[in-house]
Amino acid sequence: MALNEIDRDEAVPGTVRLVDVSGGSSDAHDNSQADIVPVPRPSADPNDPLNWSHARKLRTVNMAYLYILGTGIATSLQYSVLADITADTGISTADLVQGTGLMFLFFGWACLIWQPIALTYGRRGVYLVTMLLTVAMMEWTARSSSASEWMAHRILIGVIVSPIESLCEVTVFDLFFAHNRGTYMGLYVFTLFGSNFLAPLVAGWFNDAYGWRWTMHLGSIVCGVCFIIMFLFMEETIYFRTDEVASEQSSISDMKKEGTTTTTEVPESQIEYPNINAGWHKYTFFKALPGRPTNGDMLRMAYRPIIMIFRLPTVAWSGFLYGINLSWYNVLNGTASPVLTANPYNFSAALVGCVYAGPIIGAACASLWSGNAADWLALRLARRNNGIREPEHRLWVLLLAGVMSSAGLITWGVGAYYNVHWIGLVFGLGMLTFGVVTGGSIAVSYNVDCFKEIAGETTVSVMLIRNTIGFGISYGITPWWTTQGLQNCFITAAMISLACTFTFFIMIKYGKRIRRWSIPAYKQFMATTVVAQE
């Protein structure tokens, strides 16, 4: 490939030089892999989260995972106890499932509220405030007595807990580079879905011992403990890169190319921020930093993600892929309790919860496949491509995920129709979860890889699509399988899943052309963005 062709390719959003094949790059290289060029390039400021030690990064990202774990458990405890809630309150299973669908709908749309706040005043405050509010919401859930009340607190929980969908991704790309970001994104999606599968398992046994209301109190306790830990140990990762820092980086790069060691003195105050994580500052909720967006800018960030859906096709496709996979997750949760508590299985809530061990194992395997394996594959393909990494390189892992998801849907639905042994159903749920988690993780990673600089906003776009699709499926799953029957319903779902997931072949062939076509819209968004994620 000619040099001018490589330069032209690197002008396409998402196409980056990730591997220094020739060894001639003047950019800084990764400490652990000498031929890897870190993308994005960190600043010279030691307070830049990209410059933190590996241990500090792990501690910080684990606090974000703890948020996902706590809120994920609290909002998923009801799945294995639906029958008990219905028996005690008279709220129909359809109403309970539809309430959960509303919660997922607002998980997506309320990102338009919380994400601009997090991008303006900091991630830590949003994490802590919403975790504390979740404690109160779970206490209300424990006192539910009617369908309207159930719907009301599901909607409010959806609004409050919506950062679970989009903020952890921001934390991940605050801290990590392109060549290892997929691993931590995979762990995020595993924690997200894993917490949703762990909760019903625990809830089933807790319900049998103390009742479903105390099961909801358990969610409140979990969130309270998580809040205390996060308050003490979560650091703020918000960082605004100034023009002075960018100029300094450019000057250093130019001097290296010219072979000179002369440096230009730049006042430290111009290139470094005060350490906002030192002393008592680290315990404050929000940070009003110099260079932050104005409140007017923050309000504009609330509607830009909607526009991006229609201007950036790769963002729309990422949301579609994630939404389809969320749909099968909702199908699983909407049918597990009704199917397993009926004849011939007659499971108690505790045993229904145990069935979720299969999805937990499937999610763990998917985390490795969509994270470590996808990162390894992307690096391997980049080395074969003259060091150039394309976002589409990691999409190949969807080949196995699509097959596994469809096989899992058929095993679960057809198996339940023919009353197969429950072990077979557990295997089906495990395969389904492998596909669901892989699809979700790759969708998020691909979106970030395509337009890293505006990923804080495009991630919200993805979640709007994802959760709107998920809401539609949640609303319709109960009448779908009760009317069409388990066998026909899940065979149809399997074919839909396979067809939708395999649209990744289209993106592999045409994804780069689509990104090149999106350059005018991308430049327009970059020119008007107030928080560039780079």
pLDDT at residue 430, as a whole number: 93
Q: Is the pLDDT of residue 26 over 90?
A: no
- Residues 433-449 have a mean pLDDT of 91
pLDDT at residue 32, as a whole number: 52
The string of DSSP letters for 443-511 reads HHHHHHHH-GGGHHHHHHHHHHHHHHHHHHHHHHHHHHHHHH-HHHHHHHHHHHHHHHHTTHHHHHHHH
Q: Is the pLDDT of residue 99 over 50?
A: yes
The Cα-based distances of 516 to 279, 379, 392, 456, 512 in angstroms read 46, 22, 13, 21, 6
What whole-number distance in Å separates Cα of residue 439 and Cα of residue 444? 9
Greatest C-alpha distance within the chain: 80
Q: Is the pLDDT of residue 170 over 80?
A: yes
Q: Is the pLDDT of residue 312 over 50?
A: yes
For the chain, domains (ranges, CATH) are: 49-238+298-528 (1.20.1250.20)
Cβ–Cβ < 8 Å for 102, 113: no
Can you name the residues that pair with 16 across neighbouring β-strands?
A: 389
What whole-number distance in Å separates Cα of residue 50 and Cα of residue 246? 15
Can you name the residues that pair with 36 across neighbouring β-strands?
A: 19
Q: Which of 85-89, 266-270, 366-370, 401-405 has the lowest mean pLDDT?
A: 266-270
- Residues 495-515 have a mean pLDDT of 95
302: alpha, beta or left, given left = phi > 0 and alpha = psi -120 to 50? alpha
Q: Which of 253-262, 334-343, 373-382 has the lowest mean pLDDT?
A: 253-262
Give this prediction's pTM: 0.81
Name the percent of the chain lying above pLDDT 90. 42
Q: How confident is the model at residue 533 (pLDDT cuts 50, 70, 90)?
A: low
Q: Is the pLDDT of residue 514 over 90?
A: yes
Q: What is the pLDDT of residues 327-374, one digit of tens each?
A: 887 787 778 878 888 888 888 878 887 888 888 899 899 988 988 888
pLDDT at residue 324, as a whole number: 92
What whole-number distance in Å separates Cα of residue 363 and Cα of residue 359? 6
Q: How confident is the model at residue 1 (pLDDT cuts 50, 70, 90)?
A: very low
Q: Is the pLDDT of residue 39 over 70?
A: no
pLDDT at residue 320, as a whole number: 96
Can you count the helices (H) and strands (E) in the chain?
Answer: 24, 2
Q: Is the pLDDT of residue 248 over 50?
A: no
What whole-number distance in Å separates Cα of residue 434 and Cα of residue 360? 9
Q: Is 23 exposed, middle or buried (0-12, 13-18, 19+ CB in 10 A)?
A: exposed
Q: Is the pLDDT of residue 315 over 50?
A: yes
Can you name the residues that pair with 388 across neighbouring β-strands?
A: 17
